[in-house]
Amino acid sequence: MYDYTDFDRAFLAQRNSQFRAQVARRIDGSLSEEEFRPLRLMNGLYLQLHAYMLRVAVPYGTLSATQIRKLGEISQRWDKGYGHFTTRQNMQFNWPALRDVPDILEALASVGLHSVQTSGNTIRNVTADPFAGAAADEIADPRHLAELIRQWSTDHPEFQFLGRKFKIAVTGSPHDRAVIRSNDIGLRVLERDGALGVQVFVGGGLGRTPLVAQEIRDFLPLDDLLPYLESILTVYNRLGRRDNKWKARIKILVHEHGIDRIRDLVEQEFPQRRATYAPDIVTRQLELVAARFARPDLKSAPIDAFTRAYDADPVFRSWSDTNLAAHRDPDHAIVTISLKAHGATPGDVSADQMNLLADLAERYAHGELRVSPEQNVILPHVHKSDLPALHAALKPAGLATANIGLASDIVACPGMDYCTLATARSIPVAQQIATRVEELKLEHDIGALKIRISGCINACGHHHVGHIGILGLDRAGVENYQITLGGDGTEDTAIGARTGPGFAHEQIVPAIERLIHAYLDLRRDPEEPFLQTLRRLGADPFKAALYPQTAIAAE
Amino acid sequence: MPRPFTPKIVTANDLLIGDVIYQTADDDWTRDLALAEILTDEADAQLRLLHAERQRDRLVGAYLADVTQGPDGPLPAHFREAFRAKGPSNHHHGKQERASHV
Ligand code: HEM
Ligand code: SF4
């Protein structure tokens, strides 16, 4: 865990008292909404359909037991007893009253959490591989870079008024679990000739114009990281469009000028930027940050208890097979706790569940938790002998669903149940698909299948990178759902392609069911996952299943 | 011939709570859509909206929303307004959990 310095604490306290005064001035009428809105957005406070919404950053997805317990307490005291985890490793509270927000921020600050730069045209919460520090395939802990970037970007005067929001994601593994190529900047830690560096991608983003980030630097020495990021942002600040909100992201700049031209401009800028940093200063800073991340003291003990339970208990076995990932220590496991019980709201977690997660993290996982971009919670360091007890404790709380990576592990944005920008609902679609999948008892047979749902073209639910993507639209005053196929959010990032006309709310679940059955019929063998079958055969046989009428008419 | 004017209501979010409120004929605000003032004249609707927008220490984001005339007052014309009038579909929160009063 990262351990805060006095500087961090003083900064948050100062920032919160500033916002408290701004809220008071809004309430007494001395600030108009036009004046107040940018101030509240700088502090993560939105106004949604039914209430205010406060977005809390979970920096690089890492939470301590103390922090998640505090989030639970906040949800109980000032909200409706639950919180919602998003795909960008934030927690959203859906019901705070304006007057309470300064108190909430103070409660957050007491455990080192905040809402700074979770909104607005700034560098947002830096996201990272949720398996950071634990993954078997990790080269270096991406959170060290993420924390350094957070310190550098927080309140950075040059980057407080960007053309648009700016999102950075970091992975320290070759396998990408942080969707880095859908971010404005994606960083992948690499090792070359014994030295660490990063591969830099730029210009990714979903939304109205989905684009995959392109490589701008194949290997950047770590000491150049901050001046290089500054160079990219400077080019963006200088050339990025401000005339049209929909063309203002850096992805459009990269798309319009081409990656080679952008690379040249960044390289031209780089020497001046580099000169403002003393040699080795970034490296030394990074070492200081790294030293504040304590590596847990992993225990060594026999794992017989695990093996016995695995052999004896089919429910535990099924959960182990889907929800565990390889830890760097073979006697430990990374546990993904599903927030996708069939029929639940993806990403919602109740205060009781947060309390339990805090207790279990303390008991079995060195007090550490992670939030995944797929809206689940992770215990990164669990000794295998503790897994049966952990599983037993999760079960009664509705947290033992064995579905990670399966059809019911759906990512969905809040959609029209909460979001003012929505054109249709997404949560009920996710709930209904998951419920149907459970009725069919097929999801373990189906295997890896990522369904992603957004309630408008902003694509907060990552539908473009879902194997099956669902986009909710408003067609002449009726909810209508478009399907895309073949998206992928991993190191092979791909944007899904639209299948054809959309489906009405009542038709979308049957349509997804037809796709699933088509896959089961079409796959070469049970080992061939959905995405591979789709890539082998193309979308046509799936479209035929989606639109049986059209297929007949065309014959 | 001028196009017939779709009846409207003035709606906004409450400044302090953030929840959905509607303007009433007696210049107050209600949380119950059925009690909202129905505006059937375009010029009048614009004036009522301006009146709402001036109350900046009371509300946020006032706008005109289409409604139809129901037997017991206005009904939402679009599903977005129907959700605003009801609350989210995944939890029994929002207006559906509260008795409607001002
Ligand atoms: C409910 C309040 C929310 C609002 C008002 C909102 C607004 C937006 C907007 C306007 C965009 C498009 C940005 C652009 O293309 O320039 C966007 C993108 C995005 N948002 Fe949200 N969002 C909300 C909630 C969420 C939630 C709940 C999540 C996670 C589940 C999320 C994660 C993202 C992601 C991942 C993207 C797309 C990646 C990108 O291109 O930046 N947002 N959001
Ligand atoms: S995708 Fe649209 S509906 Fe969903 S949260 Fe983002 S802005 Fe709202």
Report the half-sphere exposure of A327 (CA within 13 A, side-chain side). 21
The amino acid sitting at B69 is Q
How far is ligand 1, taken at its centre, from the CA of residue A463, in Å? 12
In which residue ranges of chain A is pLDDT below 70?
1-3, 550-555
How far is ligand 1, taken at its centre, from the CA of residue A458, in Å? 6
Name the residue ranges covered by the structural domains of chain B: 1-64
Helix (H, G, I), strand (E, B) or coil at A267: helix
Backbone dihedral region for residue A112 (phi beyond 0: left; psi -120 to 50: alpha; all else: beta) = left
Q: What domains appear along chain A, each with residue ranges and CATH number? A: 6-59+69-109 (3.30.70), 142-291 (3.30.413.10), 304-397 (3.90.480.20), 411-554 (3.30.413.10)
Contact criterion met (CB < 8 Å) for B13 and A47: yes
What pLDDT score does A1 carry? 57
Q: Is A119 in the pocket of ligand 1 (CB under 6 A)?
A: no
How far is ligand 2, taken at its centre, from the CA of residue A214, in Å? 25
Give yes or no for A33 touching B (CB within 8 A).
yes
- CA–CA separation, A403 vs B86, rounded Å? 32
pLDDT confidence band for B102 (50 / 70 / 90): very low
Q: Is A459 in the pocket of ligand 1 (CB under 6 A)?
A: yes
- CA–CA separation, A355 vs A361, rounded Å? 10
How far is ligand 2, taken at its centre, from the CA of residue A458, in Å? 6
- CA–CA separation, A474 vs A423, rounded Å? 5
What pLDDT score does B101 carry? 43
Contact criterion met (CB < 8 Å) for A47 and B87: no
pLDDT at residue B100 is higher than 70: no
CB contact at 8 A, A384 and A303:
yes
pLDDT at residue B32 is higher than 70: yes
Residue A155: C-alpha distances to residues A54, A121, A276 (Å)? 19, 12, 18
Other beta carbons less than 10 A from residue B59's beta carbon? 20
Question: Is the ipTM above a cut-off of 0.85?
Answer: yes
pLDDT confidence band for B2 (50 / 70 / 90): low
The pLDDT tens digits for A302-344 are 999 999 999 999 999 999 999 999 999 999 999 999 999 999 9
Q: Which residues of B lie inside 8 Å of A (Cβ-Cβ)?
A: 13, 15-20, 56-57, 60-61, 77-80, 83-84, 87-91, 93-95
Residue B95: C-alpha distances to residues A419, B33, B86 (Å)? 16, 10, 5
- Give all strands (DSSP E) within A266-365, no chain letters: 324-326, 332-337, 348-350
Give yes or no for A428 touching B (CB within 8 A).
yes
Closest ligand relative to A55 C-alpha: 1
Q: Is A324 in the pocket of ligand 1 (CB under 6 A)?
A: no
Burial of B58 (0-12, 13-18, 19+ CB in 10 A): middle
Contact criterion met (CB < 8 Å) for B60 and A97: no
The pLDDT tens digits for A517-534 are 999 999 999 999 999 999
